[in-house]
Structure 1
């Protein structure tokens, strides 16, 4: 194992010193692997410095937003690191979003530069650069020679998360925020230089950067970036690279478990599988352990974290239904409507902030707020804690249980979907009088989306027309699996659609 100084948590974390630390300790160790190639730590640092030089030539300055819409490969990792070397702000734009969704993000964050795999898309960005042009610029630009001084507590990333109002909101995080989960994992001994991580989900999502490359740099480990997430391809990546750890949504774990062409020896090196983004039945976890020799652990994570707040520990008995205990640097409280702690066992809102005592006191810092939404930021961060909107409870042993994720949230294959996003699109059609979107349980995906529609008086509309409308304006995973027409909606005493009754209609 390479010899490196311990990570210093007494000061705010910045990527530059951590990357320098990795290069000094293990310059020839493989740092990053993707479909287009692989980098040692020395090569990675050189490419990051080259990226920073290109960004400087393009006029990117500290505080500028750079929107990035790239497929899973080494480019998206290097670009984030190069953006941070400029003191600029990484804004991930998921490749599967529909053009109107991408345009909304671009309009909201107003980036100086939009780096995309498809430069033909009209999204309204000031400057658009395609991946081929970007790689040409890298090939002809000399790298900078050192990591510049940047503010580790300034805004370094905006991570858009689905919103209850129908439009995403941008969660702001600093370099320190995004690096801390990995630093804590390394200090606790959860990962080391012998580990090989496989990143399966899109790295345009900040949480995935946090959980994978930003952790491996600190562990002096290796990050492999999968360009496909079908089970056979993943099994090939795992076997070829000797993967020890992956964190996936339950759907991916289910597919690895059930696909006839995935064999136990394909996953023989995996010792630290984790699942998140949705619940996974204990029976399926046990089947996974029986087949592959390692039981997936579960966690509680959210964009506002960023990522992990609590997780199951593999060295401790795993309790069914629990998402584990809070991480040591985070203080989690379950609060009532008056922001007062509820007794153990009772349900309240899950809130979290910095640990106030002990060796981890003050290490964690909350998110910096929501981009351009000061009132919502103040409300969410009142009392110095993040108010998650999720309902949960603690048991007497300190285990955290999620009772209900954010009101109305649908989790399809690990993707968060707010009904308001889909209802906004359907409601814009003049043939739709009212609509209500709910989730229906599904064995493989966890939930699927079902839309109930009441047509405008005297107007007929075909389900396929409404599905086409959704396909044109929404990411594919948000498109309803089914459109159901109703003559009238059940109502609450105040005249609102009784969503709980519609939910019963979807499952009954």
Structure 2
């Protein structure tokens, strides 16, 4: 299929929800069509197999099915029905994936709220999504009372009490449209507030299903990630993917080198997903015994570029290769993967998975030949068993114009720059956007700049990324202030009350003026290297 044939194709977007109206794709060649059927095969063939481990707690698949029904009954008693948005702000625990499946069985919409977010950031996500219910960790409930959230708030303990007293047989079972909204992943852009990428159950099933042929499951497989389960793609790549494969999901609680290694060793983990900073720390931490990771058979690393030297050092130290991936929240996760059969490469990123194709297009949307650089776009593959089955996000919640821009020409436009070689291997060369990827987390310069400008001492502000071996990038800021020697400690305290910790600039420069072009745009390429450390 040529890109040119669809450049001018109009996409139908609902002006209220901001979501695209599209024909239903072809079904996947394997697996269930919705999450309601996720446990059908395990319950039929191995109901007593361990399906979930959380520290000292274990559930068989039979137990899990009952727990999900009980959670669904509790949510229904709290007023949750089809289409309702349910927000979760909890630490990694079994209740998160169980609650996710319960939400899906009710045909409701799941939303994760990262616990690191500051109160104003949480409030934006809650109100923008129009969530009706927010389930939050006990120690965060009091803070939530000071926000402008318009829905119902219950604490973790209140939710657990509701679940423990619910009758699992009372859970409703509405009809489920596999292509209706099922979850929202908020992603930072370079301008404006974070946007909610909406995914269907169909969208969210493929990351696990695609591995059934590439890495056939074994009864001994155990899969989990130490990354926050309130991040949608991490939840999907961890426990939910394990369940899609009919294997054991493991809730991990620690991402530091010693804690991660201890949990891998204890639970005999075989599959995991990490971000570059964790890979770096495992390589350079002298207190880690390589033997602690001997059970691992598959490690994916994504969220930011990972230096080839780090990947080589990891393979040498632990005798296992971590494969780099490329993806985005709108996909909803990594859709390009490095090949284990090729040498570790400083530049090449990898190949599209079987259900998708990469297209490189110019500024007019025309497809470019191999070897030429342009914007990286994604589309469903047209050949093989996965043909025409993959779909990207349904769009940005209540952002119809942004949805049209992202999905124009019936492609998923990533905003990243790269090229394909003659074998269709992708190399990512840069980002059209200015989004900062700090340790796998997206940071919008615009968001940070707006908070800086709220400080009475800051007259002008420019936020940008600087290269960092461990995190990929760090956040830096250049500011013009009302006084020659601003109180940076006070500024940091001001930012800490309004931004997640990972968004606070690690370094700052105080300038007499910001470099600008003739149109008044800040020339970030001319900003100096940071001078003053701001964050610990």
TM-score w.r.t. structure 2 length? 0.89
465, 469, 473: which one aligns with 2:490: 465
Tell me the distance in 2 between the aligned counterparts of 1:331 and 1:164.
26
In structure 2, what is the equivalent of residue 4 of structure 1?
none
Moved more, 255-264 or 233-242: 255-264
By how many angstroms is 1:386 displaced? 0.8
Moved more, 209-218 or 298-307: 209-218
By how many angstroms is 1:185 displaced? 1.4
477, 486, 503: which one aligns with 2:511: 486
In structure 2, what is the equivalent of residue 93 of structure 1?
113
Q: After TM superposition, list the pairs within 5 Å mapping 1:85-234 onto structure 2.
A: 85-117=105-137, 118-122=140-144, 123=147, 124-144=149-169, 148-189=174-215, 191-234=217-260
Question: Residue 377 in 1 paired to residue 403 in 2?
Answer: yes
Tell me the distance in 2 between the aligned counterparts of 1:101 and 1:192.
41
353, 366, 369: which one aligns with 1:327: 353
Question: Residue 78 in 1 paired to residue 107 in 2?
Answer: no
In structure 2, what is the equivalent of residue 285 of structure 1?
311
Tell me the distance in 2 between the aligned counterparts of 1:25 and 1:18.
13
Is the contact made by 1:197 and 1:224 (CA closer than 8 Å) also made in structure 2? yes
In structure 1, what is the equivalent of residue 454 of structure 2?
428
In structure 2, what is the equivalent of residue 410 of structure 1?
436
In structure 1, what is the equivalent of residue 321 of structure 2?
295
Tell me the distance in 1 between the aligned counterparts of 2:36 and 2:372.
44
By how many angstroms is 1:429 displaced? 2.2
Tell me the distance in 1 between the aligned counterparts of 2:528 and 2:223.
39
The alignment covers a number of residue pairs equal to 500
SS at match of 2:41: helix
SS at match of 1:379: helix
SS at match of 1:421: helix
Tell me the distance in 1 between the aligned counterparts of 2:52 and 2:518.
57
Is the contact made by 2:239 and 2:251 (CA closer than 8 Å) also made in structure 1? no
Moved more, 402-411 or 473-482: 402-411
By how many angstroms is 1:148 displaced? 4.5
Moved more, 445-454 or 180-189: 180-189
Tell me the distance in 1 between the aligned counterparts of 2:531 and 2:106.
50
Is the contact made by 2:73 and 2:170 (CA closer than 8 Å) also made in structure 1? no
In structure 2, what is the equivalent of residue 3 of structure 1?
none
Comparing both chains, which one has the higher relative contact order based on Cα–Cα distances under 8 Å and sequence gaps of 6 or more?
2
Is the contact made by 2:507 and 2:531 (CA closer than 8 Å) also made in structure 1? no
Tell me the distance in 2 between the aligned counterparts of 1:421 and 1:156.
27
By how many angstroms is 1:116 displaced? 0.4
Is the contact made by 1:31 and 1:39 (CA closer than 8 Å) also made in structure 2? yes
Question: Residue 33 in 1 paired to residue 59 in 2?
Answer: no
By how many angstroms is 1:144 displaced? 3.1
By how many angstroms is 1:337 displaced? 0.5
Tell me the distance in 2 between the aligned counterparts of 1:224 and 1:10.
24
By how many angstroms is 1:215 displaced? 1.3
Q: What are the Cα deviations for residues 334-367 of structure 1, in whole angstroms up to 9, with x where unaligned? A: 1101101112112111111211233221110121
SS at match of 1:401: strand
Is the contact made by 1:392 and 1:402 (CA closer than 8 Å) also made in structure 2? yes
Q: Which runs of 5+ in 2 are unaligned?
A: 1-26
Distance 1:211 1:261, change over 3 A: same
Tell me the distance in 2 between the aligned counterparts of 1:192 and 1:418.
41
By how many angstroms is 1:504 displaced? 5.5
Tell me the distance in 1 between the aligned counterparts of 2:181 and 2:301.
29
Q: What are the Cα deviations for residues 89-142 of structure 1, in whole angstroms up to 9, with x where unaligned? A: 001100100001001111101211000002212231421111111111111111
TM-score w.r.t. structure 1 length? 0.94
Q: After TM superposition, list the pairs within 5 Å mapping 1:10-21 onto structure 2.
A: 13-21=33-41
81, 91, 94: which one aligns with 1:61: 81
Is the contact made by 1:68 and 1:91 (CA closer than 8 Å) also made in structure 2? yes
Distance 1:36 1:66, change over 3 A: farther
Tell me the distance in 1 between the aligned counterparts of 2:31 and 2:363.
35
In structure 1, what is the equivalent of residue 289 of structure 2?
263
By how many angstroms is 1:322 displaced? 1.6
By how many angstroms is 1:318 displaced? 4.3
Is the contact made by 2:436 and 2:475 (CA closer than 8 Å) also made in structure 1? yes
Tell me the distance in 2 between the aligned counterparts of 1:184 and 1:425.
41
Tell me the distance in 1 between the aligned counterparts of 2:303 and 2:414.
15
In structure 2, what is the equivalent of residue 360 of structure 1?
386
Is the contact made by 1:440 and 1:506 (CA closer than 8 Å) also made in structure 2? no
How large is the Cα RMSD of the aligned pairs? Answer: 2.0
